[in-house]
Structure 1
Amino acid sequence: MRHVIALDVGGTGMKAALVAADGTLLHEARRATGRDRGTEAVVASVLDFAADLRAYGADTYGEPAAAAGVAVPGLVDERAGVAVFSANLGWRDLPLRDLLSRRLDGTPVALGHDVRSGGLAEGRLGTGRGAERFLFVALGTGIAGAIGIEGRVEATELGHIVVRPGGAACGCGQHGCLETIASASGVARAFGAEAAECAAAVAAGDPRAVAVWDEVVAALADGLVTGITLLTPETLIVGGGLAEAGDTLFAPLRAAVEERLTFQKLPLIVPAALGDTAGCLGAGLLAWDLLSLEVTA
């Protein structure tokens, strides 16, 4: 059976699948990145995982994967196939596409940005399906986004919009970036416990948690209004770990965004449909798209 490898590389773990042409997930697996052992160990883990997936596919489905799609965090030069920079994984200017293709015996490889890949999946398979313009925002350890316009999806650095000038220092070198406040790590710093614990405390009416959450929602609404003004999406899709708070997040967020808008049209603000599988599914779409381009060429 013809299939592709889909691999989503995160800061601490990797999610992978073998994906059929109709989008069926034939096989799923997860593995640690080995980040605690250094950059070389991370690269080795990625290459080994991909090779094991290829071997499994060949043994189980009678042929090796026709292509592979890999989504990685940080700065990515997708055309060159280079993972330019990732603070979490410690690499710089890593020719990951070529390394993977050689390890996979010449299998064609598509390299993509993790959030763009997640946005691609949400746009084609999830909540953004049918929307001409959507903004996908992932609220995880950091904050990143992707804009979808008539089927094309591009990554955005929404998390580095400055919403509180002179605020907390951000790893990007600025102060008061959106992700210093409204990411899961920002919530954890402010509350002194994991973001999920803060959300639960908010639902229980804890005053300290509510104060933290109110600032998170306010900062997030400020950042999203900037994104809405620049990109005019008809649908705004919010995913990532923080979105798992459900109505504890979405009810006040919708109200805060609406009250900040003046001339802008309020988009539909909805939770992502694909959860933490979006990046992996998007990587699979990148692989199938690559094969489609090769046939067209």
Structure 2
Amino acid sequence: MTQQSAGAAGTDADPVEVAVAIDVGGTAMKCAVVDGAGTVRHTERHDTDADRGPDAVVAAIGDVAAGLADTARARGLTPRAVGLVVPGVVDEVRRVAGYSANIGWRDVPFGELIDARTGLTTALGHDVRAGAVAEARLGAGAGSDNVLFVAIGTGIAAGHVLSGVPYPGAHGAPSELGHVQVVCTDGPRCGCGRYGCLEAVASASAVARRYGEAGGDRVAAAEVVRRAVAGEERAGRVWRQTIELLADGLITAIRLLDPEVIVLGGGLAEAGAALLDPLHAAIMERLAFQTMPRLVAAALGDQAGCIGAALLALDRFHAGFAVGSATGT
């Protein structure tokens, strides 16, 4: 199943350089044609259909990328590169998706495959780090050189951006904030196999679970927050615990990275002031000698991944990387 919508078109008299952008999730692929200013010119949404197996998903991504490039040309736009961002472990230099638990692939050479399928050079990135790039350059972190983006949704993930460039780590898995241990004893088991990780206790799914364990009915995290703000004691207790746990995780990141600004995205960040205000206060209590970074909500919503993918793709093109080349020419 595919959903499409169109944005502003270019004209023959005014050709616009764009990138094809694909943000692959466990259930859906968010897709777009994006220009160098970060303006989304066209969007599509496709089911990932991960149950078909990793090989089928990889083939579908190639088809979607080629189709988006054709759509851009038909609209008078000039596609220069493809930006593909995926979850899991990503080797951005070799352009290889090492592992994704949600989709099941291992060591997929996406760069070479998409180059060959589209005739365009391809940048491969991590989905959260791409969102971090978009927020750092064009969103809530714009104007700052040291930005930590933290996505708090079903899980918790982070991306660290320095002077507009995401830090990739030595092994493709930096800034794993969700797996910082914040509950040392009797913490819940995390998806990574360990206990007491931040993701296991303070993500949106964890908030909903803890509310149920406290005797509440089965509701989403957003409803728990709404009830907490409205004065329900059970929800308030769960939410206060969540704030304290998030502060414990973020203070570790502040100690290590000393960011100028922390941008909070993901579903839980939609709580707005109900999250930002008490979290700011809780971090301040833990700061000691360090400087408090600005704490802000993300500005680009669920388009951040696609916009970031496009920025990485155009970076690659303008750096002179040839089609099918891992190192450039």
- TM (norm. structure 1) is 0.94
Between 286-295 and 191-200, the greater mean CA deviation after superposition: 191-200
Counting aligned pairs with the same residue, the percent is: 50
Is 1:172 the counterpart of 2:192? The answer is yes
SS of residue paired to 2:143: coil
Q: Output the CA distance in 1 between the equivalents of 2:309 and 2:242.
A: 30
Aligned residues: 295
Instruction: Return 5+ residue gaps in structure 2 as ranges.
Output: 1-14, 168-173, 212-217, 322-327
The answer to whether the 8 Å contact 2:129/2:158 transfers is: yes
**Pairwise CA distance, 1:210:** 1.3
Is 1:137 the counterpart of 2:163? The answer is no
**Corresponding residue for 1:5?**
20
**Pairwise CA distance, 1:43:** 2.1
Q: For residues 172-195 of structure 1, what are the alpha-carbon distances to aligned partners after superposition, in whole Å with 9 as ceiling and x for unaligned?
A: 122100000111121122224211
Which of 156, 159, 163 pairs up with 2:182? Answer: 163
Is 1:200 the counterpart of 2:226? The answer is yes
Structure 1 residues 205 and 42, CA gap change in structure 2 (3 angstroms):
farther
- Greater helix share, structure number: 1
The answer to whether the 8 Å contact 1:202/1:248 transfers is: no
- Within 5 Å, give how 1:118-137 maps onto structure 2: 118-137=131-150
Q: Output the CA distance in 2 between the equivalents of 1:229 and 1:22.
A: 33
Between 77-86 and 190-199, the greater mean CA deviation after superposition: 190-199
- Residue identity opposite 2:85 in structure 1: A
Instruction: Return 5+ residue gaps in structure 1 as ranges.
Output: none
Between 234-243 and 46-55, the greater mean CA deviation after superposition: 46-55
Q: Output the CA distance in 1 between the equivalents of 2:39 and 2:250.
A: 33
Is 1:95 the counterpart of 2:121? The answer is no
Between 173-182 and 24-33, the greater mean CA deviation after superposition: 24-33
Q: Output the CA distance in 2 between the equivalents of 1:270 and 1:24.
A: 22
Which of 68, 82, 87 pairs up with 2:82? Answer: 68
Is 1:36 the counterpart of 2:51? The answer is yes
- TM (norm. structure 2) is 0.85
Q: Name the Cα RMSD after superposition.
A: 1.6
**Corresponding residue for 1:282?**
308
**Pairwise CA distance, 1:96:** 1.7
Q: Output the CA distance in 2 between the equivalents of 1:35 and 1:184.
A: 23
- Residue identity opposite 2:195 in structure 1: H
**Pairwise CA distance, 1:57:** 1.5
Structure 1 residues 132 and 21, CA gap change in structure 2 (3 angstroms):
closer
- Residue identity opposite 1:168 in structure 2: P
Is 1:216 the counterpart of 2:242? The answer is yes
Q: Output the CA distance in 1 between the equivalents of 2:147 and 2:67.
A: 36
SS of residue paired to 1:67: strand
Q: For residues 239-278 of structure 1, what are the alpha-carbon distances to aligned partners after superposition, in whole Å with 9 as ceiling and x for unaligned?
A: 1111001111111111111111111111111101111111
Q: Output the CA distance in 2 between the equivalents of 1:206 and 1:88.
A: 35
